[in-house]
Structure 1
Amino acid sequence: MSKPLNIIFAGTPDFAAQHLQALINSHHNIVAVYCPPDKPAGRGKKLTACATKQLALANNLVVEQPVNFKATEDQETLANYNADVMVVVAYGLLLPEVILNAPKLGCINVHGSLLPKWRGAAPIQRSLEAGDGQTGVTIMQMDKGLDTGDMILKATCDITPSDTSASLYEKLAALGPEALIDTLSLMATGEHTAEKQDDSLANYAAKLDKAEAELDWSLSANVLDRKVRAYIPWPVAQFTFIDEKQNPQRIRIWQATPLQLAHGKAPGTILTADKKGIVVATGDGALSLTSLQIPGKKPLSVADILNARGHWFTPNTPITGQINE
């Protein structure tokens, strides 16, 4: 077993908390846990601690919550922990160079892609949306760039045709902690090496936007299927249906299947509608919608949707409920 390292951990959501739990279970020493300040949540807008802070407090770990690291006092506080390394997982705050250089071995980051591909905020969603066959996690030495640091270790997993961003998230949340512990073992012995990224192979995983959720039926069925799966659990793919009272109804798509069939219909036309699915013409092929959510309701099977709103989904009419001029 390698020697224990004194570690500062920085992270926010459940994905980060799962990595913190791996460190708690290891022989390493966690000298401090850094989280963003508590934020209002829920209908009452009560200040709520993030998943990482909750786990840290449950294990009697010291928690620090600076707004940022611009204040000299916050920089000095971190430096005074005299850590060997700082582990950063989905923290959400930019680290200035003075912080990156404070620990003896610098700062390392667990990133949810196979760098240099998909640098940025939404690597899991963008890799799925793009149709990648494989993804994984990269442990890298952090520098002042955006996910541009030298790579220490990679762990890979396949992306299956049924994966959503939620299921990929769980895969990487299991893969990342193991890769992190392996990386720390290498760093503790001084045997680790770091490979520079090839910037010419890099692309950017932009943060998801709600506007992207509205589907464009002129795209191919395969592309639309990947978007549906990439946008689960947020923002969830949707289309806007204009009902008989001319009210817009935003209908979310939770499950769909691409079909390779020739139809000769305009994209967005309902081809068939039965308990097996609402089949919609696309720019290439068709998309069978099998689980939908109408406003104010929970997600339901298409069979249940048709029982309640069958008149909304008539074959040879637009899925939007109105003719596009």
Structure 2
Amino acid sequence: MSGNNLNIIFAGTPEFAAQHLSHLVEQGYNIVACYTQPDRPAGRGKKLQPSAVKQVALAHDIPVCQPPSLKTDDALTELNAWNADLMIVVAYGLLLPKAALDAPKLGCINVHGSILPKWRGAAPIQRAVLEGDAETGVTIMQMDIGLDTGDMLLVETCPIESTDTSGSVYEKLQNIGPSALIKAVDAIAENNVTPIKQNDDEATYAHKLTKQEAEINWLEPAAVIERKIRGYQPWPVAYANLSGNVVKIWQAAVSPENSGKNAGDVISADKSGISIQTGDGVISIQSLQPQGKKPMSAGDFVNGRLEWVAPGTSLLTQAD
């Protein structure tokens, strides 16, 4: 039996999920219903906005369900009424109780943005960049009641380059995920899949990001700070306190020089970059953004705000 013959429920919310839904629809898979988060207020007018998945579903006349929870009797009754063979979950944002996982005949599968069991949890892409991993990927897994603990059905990998941000890695996974999902769905339909249990001893957890953790600590090594600058893009964006002013940092490079200065000391500030001694090595900031302004080059920043980063200034003392 081909995957095209399955009755499929799709559950997801953001653009990443919408890309997977679009691919399924384009390939002729039978999506009987889409589940997505309730509409949320967005924009200056705070008007209710449909999710990216809802927009795709409506464009293809797919019924949309938006229960605030799948734990109620009414929600479970509705879920069972679709008589689905399979449920595909991609960044849905709601927990699925066991009764929901058991509703489709073939259960529920999930597209997760890491090579499991590494980086289970909410922010796998960002944590991989922050940690300096050489590669990541997507894992298609059979869902169980644990958090990203289900048996692995298929894994596709891709490299993380030294210039990648979390945003660029997200785009890579958005490109490889849909085709990996199609392979897995077809294999399930043909009963040609061998589930592989995860090794819990090798598991790591990708905690949800916070704005606070994006603050740069000049006591950390330059390589760690540089990864933070890439890892916290596009959100929440790494930031630092420069002479009492909060500035977002968009691009930097680790310099091979060793200044002999104290951590947090500004070594130089010119059009080539703003060089700062860290706990281990020197980092050169190339692009940054004062509050209320657009991102700018280090040269443009220094031309207008040299007093914020004058050579010899101790940023560590300011932070304290």
Separation in 1 of the partners of 2:56 and 2:318?
53
Q: What is the match of residue 276 of structure 2?
A: 280
Q: What is the match of residue 138 of structure 2?
A: 137
**One-letter amino acid matched to 2:29:** H
Separation in 2 of the partners of 1:57 and 1:318?
55
Deviations 1:249-294 (A, max 9, x none): 2100000101122111111111111111101100111111000000
Q: What is the match of residue 79 of structure 1?
A: 80
Separation in 1 of the partners of 2:58 and 2:285?
44
Q: What is the match of residue 262 of structure 2?
A: 266
Q: What is the match of residue 221 of structure 1?
A: 222
* SS of 1:54 mapped into structure 2: helix
**One-letter amino acid matched to 1:281:** Q
CA RMSD of superposed structures (Å) = 1.2
TM-score by length of 1: 0.96
* Gapped regions of structure 2 (runs ≥ 5): none
Separation in 2 of the partners of 1:184 and 1:318?
57
* SS of 2:247 mapped into structure 1: strand
Separation in 2 of the partners of 1:58 and 1:316?
59
Q: Please give the residue correspondences for 1:9-20 in structure 2 after superposition, counting only pairs within 5 Å.
A: 9-20=10-21
Separation in 2 of the partners of 1:323 and 1:298?
24
Separation in 2 of the partners of 1:28 and 1:123?
28
| Alpha-carbon shift at residue 42 of structure 1 (Å) | 1.7
Q: Does 1:2 align with 2:2?
A: yes
Q: Does 1:114 align with 2:115?
A: yes
Q: What is the match of residue 213 of structure 2?
A: 212
Q: What is the match of residue 128 of structure 1?
A: 129
* SS of 1:155 mapped into structure 2: strand
| Alpha-carbon shift at residue 37 of structure 1 (Å) | 0.6
Deviations 1:2-55 (A, max 9, x none): 252111000011000000011111121000000011111122211111111111
**One-letter amino acid matched to 1:252:** K
* SS of 2:16 mapped into structure 1: helix
Q: What is the match of residue 166 of structure 1?
A: 167
**One-letter amino acid matched to 1:11:** G
TM-score by length of 2: 0.97
Q: What is the match of residue 179 of structure 2?
A: 178
Separation in 1 of the partners of 2:22 and 2:13?
13
How many pairs align?
319
Q: What is the match of residue 245 of structure 1?
A: none
Q: What is the match of residue 69 of structure 2?
A: 68
Moved over 2 A (4+): 322-325
Q: What is the match of residue 27 of structure 2?
A: 26
* SS of 2:287 mapped into structure 1: strand
Q: What is the match of residue 289 of structure 1?
A: 285
* SS of 1:79 mapped into structure 2: helix
Residues 241, 319 of structure 2: 8 Å contact kept = no
